[in-house]
A and B are shown apart, each in its own frame.
Chain A
Amino acid sequence: MAEQPAADDFSVLPITLPSLPSYPVQSTHFVYLRKNAKVVTKSDARSLFLVNVPADSTELHFRAVFASLVGAGRFEGITFDHNAKAPTTSHEPAYALRLAALGKRKRQDQEAQHKQDEEAAQLPKLWTRQTHRSGSTAVVLLADEKSVELVLKAVRKLSKTKKYPIWGDGVGDKAPPLGSQWLKAHNKLSYPGNDAMQDMVDAYFTVFNRKELEAAQLARAMQNEPDEDGFVTVTRGGRTAPARQEEAEEAKRKMLERQQKKKDETQNFYRWQLREKKKAEQVEFLKRFEDDKSKLKAMREKRRKIQPDS
């Protein structure tokens, strides 16, 4: 969305922040919103793009804000920016990954079962309530395209009425609390329990082993199966199984070591070797002297005069 040049089509949605005992100042938070510019899917058309959402936002908070703007029932959901950007790491064996690009898709009916397994292998959450980086973005999904217009209109009207929605109004106890309870819960969530973790790990490796097996089968199958253009993919390894990458690297390392050892054994043997060594030392020595000299020069430049401290 950054490629959209028009910055001025953002509407400003001010939200009143109630004062708190620890910070008794009533202030206003400004959320900037506009129609979602990049309409690709149907739901894009009925969504709003928000910038600068408060760090402690939850879906409940925004549901309340939008309810106060255009009444209940128009707000469907919100996706916070950082949820969308979670890094995706592959959990498949490395060579399975490489082969997957070449291989065929799996059968649909197995997929469902696998999906269930993979969900069981997910790591638990560590926080009861996720915070958002200050100034980050979100996308709000509304009931229909008409709601979008309604919201924008309501926001425009705010600048006249000055009746800003109040942050946290109507959320009450429904959102998980922050503060000490939040930190306490974090400590608790960080220790999910040994049994639960055992189950998770078991599920994970069921999936992992299956994938590994599939990959091995695939690799073997592809060893002598030409693709549609008639090419045969060359995979590593012999006839029985493809080689693993580390094995190849290990072999290379060993070879280098052997070479080095051979070289070491024939050092310091001939006179010319000693002579060359001496020469190299001298050069080294000269270099060091030059280094020191340049250091001194740097020192001189830095503090024009060398003076003892008083």
Chain B
Amino acid sequence: MEASTAKRRKLSHGGGGPAFLAGASSGSASSALIEATQELVNDVQVDYGQAFEGVDQTLRQFKETIEALEPHDPELITKITASFQKNEKITVPYPNPRPAKDSPYKLSFAKPSQVNVVGSYQLRTMVRSQPDMSVDMIVVMPASIFQDKDYRDGRYFLKRSYYCAYIAAGIRKSAPSFDIAFDHLEGNQLLPVAVVRPKGTKSDKKGYAIRIIPCAPDGLFPTAKLGLTSSNTKDSTKPTPFYNSTLRAESLFVPYLRLLNNAAKSCPAFREACMLGRIWLQQRGFGSSLSEGGFGHFEWAVLVALLLQGGGRKGEAVLSSALNSSQLFKATMQYLALTNLQKKPVVFGSQSAPDSLRQNGPVVWDAAREHNLFFKMTSWAVNFLQQQAKWSLAGLKSDSLDQFDSLFVVKVDQMLQTFDLVVKIRSTAQCDDSGGDTSRGVAWDFAERLHRVLKRALGDRAQLVHAVLPKHTAWSVTANPPGKKGGDILIGVVTDPSLVARKMDLGPSVEQKEEAAKYRDFWGEKAELRRFQDGSILESIEWNLDSERSIPEQIIRYAAKKHFTLQGDDLSFFGANSFSKVAHLSYSDAQYFSAARQGFESLEKEIREVEDLPLHVRQVAPVAPELRYASLHPPSPASRLPMDIALSFEASGKWTDNVAANQRLKMAFLLKLGASLGETNPEIKTHIGLEQVNHDSRNIAFLDVSYEDGFVYRIRLQSDVDEKILETQLRNKQLDRQALQDAAESLAICKRLYTNLPLHSQTLSTWCTRYPPLSDSIRMLKYWFSCHRLASHFNEELIELFALRAFITPSPWQVPTSAMTGFLRAIHLIARWDWIDEPLVIDHSESITAADRSAVSAQFHELRRQDPRMNRVVLFVATSHDTTGTAHTRNGPSRVVANQMTKLARSTCEAVKNKGVDLDPRSLFQSSLKHYDVVIRLNSKVLKAMMRDDGSKHSQFKNLDKLHGESGPLPLIELPAKTLAKQLNAIYSNAIVFFRGAGDDNIIAGLWNPEIGTRTRKVDMPCAYKPDGEGESLQVDREAILSEIARVGGDVIEKIEVKGTQ
């Protein structure tokens, strides 16, 4: 038991009582997680010898080249730049603003005081999967080329740029086998660096890059001048914290290198924790560069190192160096999630937070090095980072190993999976000078203002507003740095589902003069004064609920126009709204669902009030998806399609001990109920209907109750003794196999109808109330299943459970907040589910214990052992109510169909991931008919006519109808197209696998079963066969079968298309 030693290792030595240990070491079940992370670390380990073959030599060569470069004395900037660019054909990558023509500054070059390798190559914390492998080589510029005042007005950066260009020129000359380009270090436009790649490695293998980073010697400028509140531009007195921190960081490469090396030496698991952190960040799209949030591997490593030294409430160490890597990771995650990083500065290494640290952005102050570690982060980036940490932690709490994938394997960084609404903003010339610190770049500045305005405009409708900046790219040494214009800015919004569709926004009262003025100022003419029923007079805004555009879209458009003069074309919207439109979901559907629900409730009341029933009503349970807000189409009174209800009576001795007789007894009770309901309420018409007459021991009859001009409900009655009798029959060893199978089937139907479905319905409607987007997510998912013609193979309940699962275990994201995110996560879940080897466990009432889980898994393995080819049950889905796992998957899907489902879900996920926001939602719901062998097109006209006319003969004269006692039009037993599909399936199930969408799909597609081929025996044929040429063998008679289908379907079938003939 090696793994448990890690658990038992004493945790408290080293550091005085680590504060976050309790959380880190709690999960005893996490030992498996530890193993898994260990495995991961081993697997992503980079083979440095192979990946960086010969790099050490190259580095040494570069070092020698740089140190041998010819120094020169200071010369005027304009002059030297001109001559340099002419001689070397290299454009010096000066930052904005570029030096003026009459600039008095002088530039020089001198031998660097130090050339060193830093970063993750040196620390050996790279991982295989990282997008680019680069070695950071710092070139410490000598203090001699700088003057005391060079920290002001970007003078340092001018000199640095020139130094960088000079080195680049030198390297290009001495190492012709390398490509050289400029890039901005971490997207910071003040810091150009030279990126050197071995020629010709871009395509083959991954290749590596060497970044040559000029930097400042320690203590070049007084730290007092580079605090967060100092101003270092000549035009203004506003503080320039970003500029200052950038400059400060220039001289901190070596001190941080020392810090990390010390941490790695004192804490054996440090390196691995850094790798875990790198993977976690990378899967979430975080990186050191400005556009990736400014929190990458370096910041993570420094944070862990700092936490190993201090950071607790009294300055004690938060982490102990004795922790293993996953504990370090977990505790750091906890620190990120729980520390207040946004409101007030966090200080390491000093007790008090100096006033000078107050500023807008987040501050994590490393007192020993007097530096703000988070200086590249914006408020939204910190917020997003903390949210991600929280979501991951929520996942970590729930279960052990199942969360591993969501922590490290799943690619979380997907706009549409994360946000409900994404706005792409073309930031053309939106860079008017706002004063202050513009050194971060124009796009950055614009994004910050935009974010502020949109966040305020959306208010509590949005839980999270995030901005994504365009990525920085390298450029050729002969070109100018990429221009002023930024690319497109993406704003992602996570909405609050309960508030997002609020029609009216209320502002301050008219009496609060100051606030009202501010409100008016922000909203302009859109704000109106209104008097409300309670007498208050408030500033308010009314949004249009019936518009094509969703309310958040209206708000964003308005605010962007008002504050940034952005026009319609500058903004493009992606996300929830367009998905809902594609799936034909409308906010007004809700009223139909609640109407159906109300109808049900009044029916229940009426049933309970019937007095002369022979038995007492125990429960009236809704069963139909329409009654739990989960049907693809909202219920409509015009459709004549009944909604299912299960009715059960109190236990009684009136039932007989014969299942078949009980079915007739039910019929008698239903007739009695129908008569009584009709008597008490003349608006109710009842029809007794038969669902099947071939199996005497299964339910035969139901009662359709239709309200005049209203909904139709279908009541099925439970006889409580049936299950017991059937169970006894199953135990009876004397019965023959046929009878036993029949009893087992009857029992399963019984259980499903009267136990599983009512419970499922109840659960689902509870969750739909708790999570408003669940209902639409389910419907969208059903639409997807229907579009891909899988719906006919799946019980609707199963699809609902998939969607529910996405809401219950949302990690690595948060609980879905719109139909789109719910839908995409459910698809993601389906795509990742390996149903051959894993059961799906959905614990919706949080009642499944660990023991239950292992029982479920044992049951699953037993099932697979008995039926390894999965002929009977393919999907295994256990819920809190049903741990057998087969309640909803007994009759389908088959393995072929389940494979198809996974394949389609995977390609949908791929499209979502690769296309990002440019995805056309319609493409996810389009399915080609090309790959089917047979396509049966139904005649929609005939079908529609059938739906109108129910086949009961109406007399030409209205009054004669009445005489007959005909009680209104009959309900539909089910949709005619569905009946036909069922009949075809019953006839040809051995020969063809039929695929069909939801009820109104007018196409039945089919694939010939590949498992039946030629045969010689003429008895026991699975389907029609014809003689194959001269010999004895027979082959499937496809033409005869299709001709038969055409005859059976008659006028309902418009056309049968066969693959290859059209």
A contact residues vs B (CB 8 Å cutoff): 1-2, 4, 7-8, 10, 12, 17, 19-20, 22-23, 25, 27-30, 32, 51-52, 54-56, 86-87, 89-95, 121, 123-126, 131-137, 168, 177-188, 190-194, 197-198, 200-201, 204-205, 208, 244-246, 249, 284-285, 287-289, 291-293, 295-296, 298-300, 302, 305-310
Residues of B within 8 A of A51 (CB): 1018-1019, 1021
Residues of B within 8 A of A298 (CB): 837
Interface residue? B733 (CB, 8 A): no
Residues of A within 8 A of B1049 (CB): 22, 178-179
Q: Which of B144-152, B217-225, B664-672 contacts A (4 or more CB under 8 A)?
A: B664-672
Contact in complex: B693, A23 (CB < 8 Å): no
Known: A124-B690, A300-B39, A308-B129. A197 touches B701 (CB 8 A): yes
Name the contact of B987 in the complex, choosing from A7, A131, A284 (C-beta under 8 A).
Answer: A131
In Å, the complex CA distance between A20 and B1046 comes to 7
Contact with A along B1011-1031 (1 / 0, CB 8 A): 000001111111111110000
Report A95 CB to chain B, min CB distance, Å: 7
In Å, the complex CA distance between A155 and B1022 comes to 24
Contact in complex: B1020, A2 (CB < 8 Å): yes
Residues of A within 8 A of B973 (CB): 186-187, 190-191
Contact in complex: A188, B660 (CB < 8 Å): no
Contact in complex: A183, B693 (CB < 8 Å): no
Contact with A along B690-711 (1 / 0, CB 8 A): 1111111100110010000000
Residues of A within 8 A of B942 (CB): 179-180
Residues of B within 8 A of A192 (CB): 688, 690
Report A234 CB to chain B, min CB distance, Å: 18
Contact in complex: B1040, A177 (CB < 8 Å): no
Interface residue tally on B, bucketed by range? 35 or more
Residues of B within 8 A of A94 (CB): 657-658, 725
The chain B residue sitting closest to A135, CB to CB, is: B1021
Report A260 CB to chain B, min CB distance, Å: 19
In Å, the complex CA distance between A91 and B900 comes to 44
Chain A-chain B contacts (Cβ-Cβ < 8 Å), number? 290
Residues of A within 8 A of B724 (CB): 246, 249
Contact in complex: B697, A10 (CB < 8 Å): no
Report B825 CB to chain A, min CB distance, Å: 15
Name the contact of B980 in the complex, choosing from A121, A123, A183, A306 (C-beta under 8 A).
Answer: A183
Known: A27-B1040, A134-B988. A91 touches B658 (CB 8 A): yes
Interface residue? B22 (CB, 8 A): no
Contact in complex: B671, A134 (CB < 8 Å): no
Closest 5 CB pairs of A and B: A179-B1050, A292-B32, A135-B1021, A184-B951, A27-B1039
Report B206 CB to chain A, min CB distance, Å: 12
For B688, B697, B952, the residue with the greatest tally of chain A CB atoms inside 10 Å of its CB is B688
Report B152 CB to chain A, min CB distance, Å: 45
Contact in complex: A126, B1042 (CB < 8 Å): no
Interface residue? B1006 (CB, 8 A): no
Residues of A within 8 A of B704 (CB): 191
Residues of A within 8 A of B686 (CB): 194
Q: Which of B286-294, B408-416, B518-526, B627-635 contacts A (4 or more CB under 8 A)?
A: B408-416
In Å, the complex CA distance between A198 and B851 comes to 51
Residues of A within 8 A of B688 (CB): 191-194, 197
Interface residue? B742 (CB, 8 A): yes
In Å, the complex CA distance between A45 and B523 comes to 97
Contact with A along B1027-1053 (1 / 0, CB 8 A): 100001000010111111111111111
Report A121 CB to chain B, min CB distance, Å: 8
A-B contact pairs, 21 of them (CB 8 A): A17-B1043, A22-B1046, A25-B1043, A27-B1039, A52-B1025, A87-B742, A89-B697, A91-B696, A126-B693, A178-B1047, A180-B942, A184-B951, A194-B687, A197-B667, A244-B657, A245-B728, A292-B32, A292-B400, A296-B36, A302-B834, A307-B44
Name the contact of B44 in the complex, choosing from A27, A179, A300, A308 (C-beta under 8 A).
Answer: A308
Interface residue? B31 (CB, 8 A): yes
Contact in complex: A179, B1051 (CB < 8 Å): yes
Residues of A within 8 A of B756 (CB): none
Contact in complex: A25, B696 (CB < 8 Å): no
Q: A30-B1026, A121-B664, A308-B408 are in contact. List 11 more A-B contacts (CB 8 A).
A: A7-B1019, A7-B1032, A22-B1055, A27-B1039, A90-B658, A134-B1023, A180-B946, A205-B668, A292-B400, A296-B32, A296-B36
Known: A92-B658, A310-B411. A8 touches B1032 (CB 8 A): yes
In Å, the complex CA distance between A2 and B1021 comes to 11
Report B447 CB to chain A, min CB distance, Å: 27
Report B725 CB to chain A, min CB distance, Å: 8
Report B1013 CB to chain A, min CB distance, Å: 14
Contact in complex: B32, A23 (CB < 8 Å): no
In Å, the complex CA distance between A193 and B952 comes to 11
Residues of A within 8 A of B667 (CB): 197, 200-201
Contact in complex: B700, A123 (CB < 8 Å): yes
The chain A residue sitting closest to B412, CB to CB, is: A309
In Å, the complex CA distance between A137 and B1018 comes to 10
Contact in complex: B661, A305 (CB < 8 Å): no
Residues of B within 8 A of A28 (CB): 1026, 1039-1040
In Å, the complex CA distance between A106 and B689 comes to 35
In Å, the complex CA distance between A25 and B1039 comes to 8
B937-957: which have CB < 8 Å to A?
A: 942-943, 945-946, 949-952
The chain A residue sitting closest to B408, CB to CB, is: A308
Interface residue? B576 (CB, 8 A): no
Report B954 CB to chain A, min CB distance, Å: 12
Residues of A within 8 A of B1025 (CB): 30, 52, 135
Contact with A along B650-664 (1 / 0, CB 8 A): 000000111011001
Contact in complex: A306, B39 (CB < 8 Å): yes
Known: A27-B1039, A191-B689, A308-B283. A201 touches B988 (CB 8 A): no
Contact in complex: B972, A131 (CB < 8 Å): no
Contact in complex: A7, B1018 (CB < 8 Å): yes
Residues of A within 8 A of B1018 (CB): 7, 10, 32, 51-52
Name the contact of A293 in the complex, choosing from B35, B658, B976 (C-beta under 8 A).
Answer: B35
For A28, A133, A287, the residue with the greatest tally of chain B CB atoms inside 10 Å of its CB is A133
Contact in complex: A126, B692 (CB < 8 Å): yes
Report B43 CB to chain A, min CB distance, Å: 5
The chain B residue sitting closest to A297, CB to CB, is: B35
Name the contact of A25 in the complex, choosing from B35, B854, B1019, B1042 (C-beta under 8 A).
Answer: B1042
Contact in complex: B657, A95 (CB < 8 Å): yes
Interface residue? B29 (CB, 8 A): yes
For A19, A136, A168, A306, the residue with the greatest tally of chain B CB atoms inside 10 Å of its CB is A306
Known: A27-B1039, A190-B691, A191-B970. A284 touches B1023 (CB 8 A): no
Interface residue? B401 (CB, 8 A): yes
In Å, the complex CA distance between A232 and B1012 comes to 57
Residues of B within 8 A of A190 (CB): 689-691, 973
Contact with A along B918-948 (1 / 0, CB 8 A): 0000000000000000000000001101100
In Å, the complex CA distance between A134 and B1048 comes to 12
Contact in complex: A56, B1044 (CB < 8 Å): yes
